[in-house]
Amino acid sequence: MYNLFVNDLTVLDCAIWDYQRGPIGMSWSVDVEFLGGLDDDGVVFDFSHAKKVAKSVIDNLADHKLITPYNLVNFDMTENNIEYDFISMEDPYPIMYRAPREAFCILKNCSKTGLIAYLEYKILDKIDKDNVYEVRVTLKDESDINNVYSYTHGLKTHYGNCQRLLHGHQSSVRVFVNSKRREDIEKDICDYFYDKHIVYKQNLISDKQEKSIDEFHNRIGIKYKSSQGEFSLKIPKSKVIVFENYETTVECISEYIANWISKNYKDTNSKTIEVHAYEGIGKGSKYILNPRVQKNIDKKLLNG
């Protein structure tokens, strides 16, 4: 038996439903193995084809989606567009989510184990080679090496799949105050963002509308239309962080964190705060808050 392996093939960013925590933002680095015998060319599977098939299945079926159990989903077909409703009214996490079909990965078992089994089956099904008889998928996160936080969000104007309102990431953060790393602040940031949904204020349903339709559950309403369709979400207010002035991109998250640190830690006053905010694994944004530089910029802007 031969085992062809591809480590760190791609990163899978998604949200996965948990009955106690609600939608959890996750980011996994994906390893894939192909088990079988040799073909006439002396290989199990050509590397370029192996990577292309596996990545295509993962991207199309799970990436930037809500991994959800089938029993909580209803669908409605209107004018040839299929929209799915995800509804869980049970405590501790009452939620209602409506989005196009492409925003969901619907499984009987929506745990990590169930997702792995689903991806293994679908990748193997796409391989047209009799000599490959098994596929193994490994999903790795960074929770064992870093302080991480899980969050969900959606970017209305994003040209890609980030516009899906309920996808997410598991991210780490680095904080430096006057070039000295502050792991104590990093841990507090992870606690603050833990399982939160981050939303731009412009995408909220007005308070007047929200009170009239959902006062009992104390939920917040979010709604927008993007190039992939219409998205709407009702979610407990306790689980939401609202960005007042900007979208929920990783660039703006790094800026938000820097300002949050400045407001909540007196020992950082008049010091340079540098934030490295990751969006999942291996990518992110750096933001530097330097009070002296900012004062000079403000003066120049004020004086024209």
Domain boundaries, the chain: 2-171+195-244
Report whether pLDDT(301) > 50: no
Element of type H or E holding 16: strand 2-18
Question: Residues 2-31: what's their mean pLDDT?
Answer: 95
pLDDT band, very low/low/confident/very high, at 209 (cuts 50, 70, 90): low
Q: Which two tokens stand for residue 194?
A: 């833990």
Report whether pLDDT(107) > 50: yes
Predicted pLDDT at 208: 58
Contact indicator for 156, 182 with CB cutoff of 8 Å: no
Predicted pLDDT at 242: 96
Classify residue 272 as exposed, middle or buried by CB count within 10 Å of its CB (0-12, 13-18, 19+). middle
Predicted pLDDT at 195: 95
Predicted pLDDT at 90: 64
Predicted pLDDT at 2: 92
Distances in Å between the alpha carbon of 151 and those of 76, 105, 196, 271, 287? 28, 18, 5, 28, 19
pLDDT digits (tens, 9 = 90+) for 159-192: 899 999 999 999 999 999 999 999 999 999 999 9
Predicted pLDDT at 83: 61
Contact indicator for 280, 26 with CB cutoff of 8 Å: no
Look up residue 53 and give its amino acid: V
| Range with the poorest average pLDDT among 48-52, 145-149, 272-276 | 145-149
Output the CA torsion sign for 182, 186, 191, 193. Answer: positive
* 193 HSE (CA, 13 A, CB side): 30
How many residues can be counted in the chain? 304
Predicted pLDDT at 299: 44
Q: Which region, left, alpha or beta, applies to residue 189 given φ > 0 means left and ψ of -120 to 50 means alpha?
A: alpha
In whole numbers, what is the pLDDT of the chain averaged over residues? 88
The Cβ of residue 201 has, within 10 Å, a number of other Cβ atoms equal to: 10
Question: Residues 280-291: what's their mean pLDDT?
Answer: 94
Dist. CA 64–CA 163, nearest whole Å = 9
Report whether pLDDT(35) > 70: yes
pLDDT digits (tens, 9 = 90+) for 246-258: 999 999 999 999 9
Q: Which CATH number fits domain 2-171+195-244: 3.90.1150.200, 3.40.1350.10, 3.30.479.10, 3.90.1010.10?
A: 3.30.479.10
| Range with the poorest average pLDDT among 29-38, 140-149, 195-204 | 140-149
Predicted pLDDT at 207: 60
Look up residue 80 and give its amino acid: N
pLDDT band, very low/low/confident/very high, at 118 (cuts 50, 70, 90): very high
Predicted pLDDT at 41: 85
pLDDT digits (tens, 9 = 90+) for 53-102: 999 999 999 999 999 998 888 766 554 445 667 777 666 667 889 999 89
